[in-house]
Amino acid sequence: MEKIKVPQPYTPSEKDIKNVIAPAAIENAPAYLKLGDKFVKTIFIFTYPRYLSSGWFNQIVNLPEVMDVSIFAHPVNTVSAMKSLRKKTSQIEAQLLEREEKGLVRDPMLETAFQDIETLRDTLQQGREKMFNIGIILPCRRILWTNFSKLKKK
Protein backbone atom coordinates (compact mmCIF):
# COMPACT_ATOMS: atom_id res chain seq x y z
CA MET A 1 0.00 0.00 0.00
CA GLU A 2 1.27 3.44 -1.02
CA LYS A 3 1.60 6.18 1.53
CA ILE A 4 -0.21 9.39 0.74
CA LYS A 5 1.98 12.50 0.94
CA VAL A 6 0.24 15.46 2.46
CA PRO A 7 1.46 18.74 0.93
CA GLN A 8 3.21 20.92 3.45
CA PRO A 9 2.61 24.66 3.60
CA TYR A 10 5.28 26.82 2.00
CA THR A 11 7.73 28.32 4.45
CA PRO A 12 10.00 30.99 2.99
CA SER A 13 13.65 30.94 3.89
CA GLU A 14 16.42 33.53 3.82
CA LYS A 15 17.61 32.06 0.52
CA ASP A 16 14.22 32.84 -1.12
CA ILE A 17 14.40 36.51 -0.14
CA LYS A 18 17.86 36.86 -1.71
CA ASN A 19 16.61 35.32 -4.96
CA VAL A 20 13.66 37.71 -5.12
CA ILE A 21 15.83 40.77 -4.53
CA ALA A 22 18.70 39.65 -6.77
CA PRO A 23 17.69 36.97 -9.31
CA ALA A 24 20.22 34.34 -10.29
CA ALA A 25 20.75 35.66 -13.83
CA ILE A 26 20.43 39.22 -15.10
CA GLU A 27 21.61 40.33 -18.50
CA ASN A 28 21.56 44.08 -19.01
CA ALA A 29 21.87 45.07 -22.68
CA PRO A 30 21.22 48.50 -24.26
CA ALA A 31 18.06 47.26 -26.01
CA TYR A 32 16.61 44.97 -23.33
CA LEU A 33 16.88 43.48 -19.86
CA LYS A 34 16.86 39.71 -19.42
CA LEU A 35 15.78 38.30 -16.05
CA GLY A 36 16.33 34.56 -16.12
CA ASP A 37 14.43 33.46 -19.23
CA LYS A 38 12.22 36.58 -19.48
CA PHE A 39 13.02 39.59 -21.68
CA VAL A 40 11.84 43.12 -20.86
CA LYS A 41 12.17 46.20 -23.05
CA THR A 42 11.05 49.65 -21.92
CA ILE A 43 9.58 52.23 -24.26
CA PHE A 44 9.47 55.84 -23.06
CA ILE A 45 7.20 58.33 -24.82
CA PHE A 46 8.20 61.94 -24.27
CA THR A 47 7.48 63.74 -27.55
CA TYR A 48 3.98 64.21 -28.90
CA PRO A 49 2.53 65.66 -32.11
CA ARG A 50 0.87 69.07 -32.22
CA TYR A 51 -2.61 67.59 -31.79
CA LEU A 52 -3.62 64.26 -30.30
CA SER A 53 -6.92 62.84 -31.47
CA SER A 54 -9.15 60.91 -29.12
CA GLY A 55 -8.13 57.28 -28.98
CA TRP A 56 -4.50 57.96 -29.97
CA PHE A 57 -3.31 55.53 -27.30
CA ASN A 58 -5.84 52.77 -28.13
CA GLN A 59 -3.51 50.77 -30.39
CA ILE A 60 -1.07 50.30 -27.54
CA VAL A 61 -3.54 49.82 -24.68
CA ASN A 62 -5.64 47.33 -26.63
CA LEU A 63 -2.77 44.98 -27.44
CA PRO A 64 -3.66 41.44 -26.38
CA GLU A 65 -0.91 41.37 -23.75
CA VAL A 66 -0.63 42.24 -20.09
CA MET A 67 1.53 45.32 -19.63
CA ASP A 68 2.27 48.00 -17.09
CA VAL A 69 1.61 51.56 -18.24
CA SER A 70 2.98 54.42 -16.14
CA ILE A 71 1.98 57.99 -16.90
CA PHE A 72 3.82 60.79 -15.14
CA ALA A 73 2.66 64.41 -15.13
CA HIS A 74 4.96 67.01 -13.63
CA PRO A 75 3.89 70.67 -13.49
CA VAL A 76 6.28 73.13 -15.12
CA ASN A 77 7.06 76.40 -13.38
CA THR A 78 5.33 79.15 -15.40
CA VAL A 79 8.29 81.55 -15.08
CA SER A 80 10.79 79.03 -16.48
CA ALA A 81 8.31 78.01 -19.19
CA MET A 82 7.92 81.64 -20.24
CA LYS A 83 11.71 82.05 -20.46
CA SER A 84 12.15 78.97 -22.64
CA LEU A 85 9.17 79.95 -24.83
CA ARG A 86 10.62 83.45 -25.27
CA LYS A 87 13.92 81.90 -26.37
CA LYS A 88 12.15 79.53 -28.79
CA THR A 89 10.10 82.41 -30.20
CA SER A 90 13.31 84.36 -30.87
CA GLN A 91 14.85 81.36 -32.66
CA ILE A 92 11.83 80.83 -34.89
CA GLU A 93 11.51 84.54 -35.62
CA ALA A 94 15.20 84.62 -36.63
CA GLN A 95 14.62 81.68 -38.98
CA LEU A 96 11.61 83.42 -40.54
CA LEU A 97 13.58 86.66 -41.06
CA GLU A 98 16.53 84.76 -42.54
CA ARG A 99 14.27 82.97 -45.03
CA GLU A 100 12.66 86.30 -45.95
CA GLU A 101 16.05 87.99 -46.49
CA LYS A 102 17.20 85.12 -48.73
CA GLY A 103 13.99 85.43 -50.74
CA LEU A 104 12.92 81.87 -49.99
CA VAL A 105 9.31 80.75 -50.14
CA ARG A 106 7.54 81.11 -46.82
CA ASP A 107 7.47 78.08 -44.53
CA PRO A 108 3.95 77.44 -43.15
CA MET A 109 5.29 75.04 -40.52
CA LEU A 110 7.57 77.71 -39.04
CA GLU A 111 4.78 80.29 -39.11
CA THR A 112 2.37 77.89 -37.41
CA ALA A 113 4.97 77.05 -34.73
CA PHE A 114 5.52 80.78 -34.12
CA GLN A 115 1.77 81.41 -33.78
CA ASP A 116 1.32 78.40 -31.48
CA ILE A 117 4.10 79.54 -29.17
CA GLU A 118 2.77 83.09 -29.06
CA THR A 119 -0.73 81.83 -28.22
CA LEU A 120 0.68 79.57 -25.51
CA ARG A 121 2.71 82.44 -24.06
CA ASP A 122 -0.42 84.61 -23.93
CA THR A 123 -2.52 81.95 -22.16
CA LEU A 124 0.27 81.18 -19.68
CA GLN A 125 0.75 84.89 -18.94
CA GLN A 126 -2.97 85.32 -18.31
CA GLY A 127 -3.12 82.22 -16.10
CA ARG A 128 -5.66 80.43 -18.32
CA GLU A 129 -3.33 77.47 -18.96
CA LYS A 130 -0.68 75.51 -17.07
CA MET A 131 2.16 73.48 -18.56
CA PHE A 132 3.04 69.91 -17.64
CA ASN A 133 5.80 67.54 -18.65
CA ILE A 134 4.11 64.25 -19.48
CA GLY A 135 5.99 60.98 -19.78
CA ILE A 136 4.66 57.52 -20.55
CA ILE A 137 6.68 54.43 -19.70
CA LEU A 138 5.79 51.02 -21.18
CA PRO A 139 7.80 48.04 -19.96
CA CYS A 140 7.09 45.34 -22.56
CA ARG A 141 7.81 41.65 -22.47
CA ARG A 142 9.45 39.91 -25.45
CA ILE A 143 6.11 38.83 -26.89
CA LEU A 144 5.20 42.48 -27.43
CA TRP A 145 8.23 43.40 -29.55
CA THR A 146 6.66 41.92 -32.68
CA ASN A 147 3.34 43.66 -31.96
CA PHE A 148 5.07 47.06 -31.58
CA SER A 149 6.93 46.60 -34.85
CA LYS A 150 3.54 46.04 -36.54
CA LEU A 151 2.25 49.29 -35.00
CA LYS A 152 5.21 51.22 -36.38
CA LYS A 153 4.38 50.19 -39.95
CA LYS A 154 0.81 51.53 -39.79
pTM: 0.56
Q: Does residue 119 share a domain with residue 148?
A: no
pLDDT at 56: 85
Residues 46 and 149: their CA atoms lie apart, in Å, by 19
1 domain residue, yes or no: no
Q: Does residue 140 share a domain with residue 68?
A: yes
pLDDT of 148 over the 60 cut: no
2 domain residue, yes or no: no
Residue 46: how many CA atoms within 13 Å on its side-chain side?
5
3 domain residue, yes or no: no
121 domain residue, yes or no: yes
pLDDT at 49: 80
Q: Does residue 49 share a domain with residue 81?
A: no
Q: Does residue 100 share a domain with residue 147?
A: no
Q: Does residue 141 share a domain with residue 125?
A: no
pLDDT of 55 over the 70 cut: yes
Q: Does residue 112 share a domain with residue 93?
A: yes
Q: What is the count of structural domains for the chain?
A: 2
Q: For residue range 16-44, what is the model confidence (pLDDT) as tens digits?
A: 776 666 666 777 888 888 777 777 888 88
DSSP designation for 22 = S
Q: For residue range 63-79, what is the model confidence (pLDDT) as tens digits?
A: 777 778 888 999 999 99
Q: Residue 70 pairs with which residues in a beta bridge?
A: 137
Count of Cβ atoms closer than 10 Å to residue 118 Cβ? 14
Q: What percent of the chain is modeled with pLDDT above 70?
A: 86
Q: For residue range 107-119, what is the model confidence (pLDDT) as tens digits?
A: 899 999 999 999 9
27 domain residue, yes or no: yes
Q: Does residue 81 share a domain with residue 31?
A: no
Q: For residue range 77-109, what is the model confidence (pLDDT) as tens digits?
A: 999 999 999 999 999 999 999 999 998 888 899
Q: Does residue 56 share a domain with residue 96?
A: no
CB 135 within 8 A of CB 72: yes
Q: Does residue 67 share a domain with residue 17?
A: yes
Residue 99 one-letter amino acid: R
Q: What range defines the domain where residue 35 resides?
A: 9-72+135-154
